[in-house]
């Protein structure tokens, strides 16, 4: 147990250090964007005096390292600053949007994870069969297709041609939960098609890799059915790579939804990020990017922890 705790603390320390480096990169990238933020806020008709006053009000007249330290100190305490457009706290602006993004990611994950694992097991069980080949071709097609392309295809066939679903996933506070799920189905399905393909192929590859092990051969010699060998012997020993790819795809569901949310006009943090970049609302842009980075790092840490806990050789390294 002590070895596991040490590994967890090391991973957490590396995660925090990575997050600090990413925060510097985010702040520096925003600083290098062309144009004057004060000029963009005031408009083209603003005088030089008004622009100078706005720059002083926003703190843009101070050196970038000083502004970064103040911004990062606020982030540590939960204060992301205020929006340049609405003048409201960034945390209040991002909070409801981030909840919507998490809800969409959870909706997609609840469907995608069991479907991917079941399809991966079936593909390994019926290896080189027609089912396996069709599944491989289909998953490669979805992996190779950009998310926005899949989204537009789903809108065309499931919204425009049939009218069963909404092409715009707009949510209202007075909607019942079932109506929200119906509105969210197309953006969720777009992400499901991509992540199921990744997770299914990894599950299939992990199980097939273990099927050549000596204990699997012994189980076959004992006359155990193939499906039972996979479920009872191969699958438990292949959890480490499966957990890893599941956690990485869950990170994608949260951090890779920008294009999907834009296509379906979904009120999530990805849509907010695009709108803020367009309006040059840099405090919101920095907060959104940092939240994406923190989520991705956290889920990568969860993947590492899952791999360590399911593999005794990693818990007790020599």
pLDDT in tens, 105-115: 899 989 998 99
Average pLDDT over all residues of the chain: 82
Residues 256-272 have a mean pLDDT of 86
Residue pLDDT, tens place only, 143-162: 888 888 888 888 888 888 88
Whole-model pTM: value is 0.81
Long-range contacts of 7-16 (CB under 8 A, 24+ apart): 7/308, 7/314, 7/315, 8/305, 11/301, 11/304, 11/305, 12/301, 15/297, 15/298, 15/300, 15/301
pLDDT value of position 165: 83
Angle formed at CA 190 by CA 98 and CA 104, multiple of 5 degrees:
25
Token pair 């950009």 is at which residue?
146
Separation between Cα atoms, residue 254 and residue 43, nearest integer Å: 34
- How is domain 90-315 classified at the architecture level of CATH? Orthogonal Bundle (1.10)
- Cβ–Cβ < 8 Å for 248, 303: yes
pLDDT at 263 over 70: yes
pLDDT value of position 1: 54
pLDDT value of position 312: 62
pLDDT value of position 35: 67
pLDDT at 317 over 60: no
- Cβ–Cβ < 8 Å for 242, 202: yes
pLDDT value of position 314: 59
Separation between Cα atoms, residue 309 and residue 318, nearest integer Å: 16
pLDDT at 318 over 60: no
pLDDT value of position 204: 85
- Among 1-15, 34-48, 115-129, 285-299, which stretch is predicted with the lowest mean pLDDT? 34-48
Residue pLDDT, tens place only, 18-60: 888 988 998 888 777 776 667 666 666 667 777 777 777 777 7
The winner for highest mean pLDDT among 7-11, 222-226, 282-286, 311-315 is 282-286
Share of residues in the chain with pLDDT > 70 (%): 92
**Domain assignments of the chain as residue spans, ordered by start:** 2-76, 90-315
Separation between Cα atoms, residue 176 and residue 196, nearest integer Å: 28
- Bridge partner residues of 89 (DSSP): 82
């Amino acid at each position: 147990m002590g070895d596991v705790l040490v590994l967890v603390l090391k991973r957490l320390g590396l995660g925090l250090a990575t997050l600090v480096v990413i925060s510097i990169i985010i702040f520096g990238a925003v600083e290098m964007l062309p144009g004057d933020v004060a000029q963009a806020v005031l408009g083209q008709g603003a005088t030089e005096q008004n622009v100078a006053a706005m720059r002083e009000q926003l703190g843009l007249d101070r050196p970038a390292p000083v502004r970064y330290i103040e911004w990062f100190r606020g982030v540590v305490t939960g204060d992301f600053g205020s929006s340049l457009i609405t003048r409201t706290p960034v945390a209040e602006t991002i909070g409801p949007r981030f909840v919507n993004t998490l809800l969409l990611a959870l909706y997609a994950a609840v469907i995608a994870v069991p479907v991917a694992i079941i399809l991966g097991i079936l593909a390994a069980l019926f290896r080189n069969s027609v089912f396996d080949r069709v599944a491989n071709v289909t998953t490669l097609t979805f992996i190779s297709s950009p998310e926005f392309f899949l989204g537009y295809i789903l809108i065309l066939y499931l919204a425009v041609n049939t009218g069963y679903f909404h092409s715009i996933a707009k949510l209202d506070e007075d909607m019942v939960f079932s109506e929200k799920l119906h509105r969210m189905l197309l953006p969720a399905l777009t992400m499901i098609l991509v992540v199921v393909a990744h997770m299914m192929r990894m599950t299939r590859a992990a199980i097939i890799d273990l099927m050549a092990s000596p204990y699997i051969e012994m189980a076959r010699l004992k006359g155990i059915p193939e499906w039972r060998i996979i479920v009872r012997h191969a699958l438990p020993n292949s959890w480490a790579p499966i957990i890893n790819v599941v956690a990485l795809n869950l990170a994608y569901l949260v951090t890779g939804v920008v294009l999907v949310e834009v296509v379906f006009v979904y009120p999530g943090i990805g849509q907010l990020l695009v709108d803020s970049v367009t309006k040059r609302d840099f405090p919101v842009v920095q907060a959104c990017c940092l939240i994406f980075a923190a989520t991705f790092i956290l889920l990568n840490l969860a993947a590492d922890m899952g791999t360590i806990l399911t593999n005794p050789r990693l818990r007790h390294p020599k």
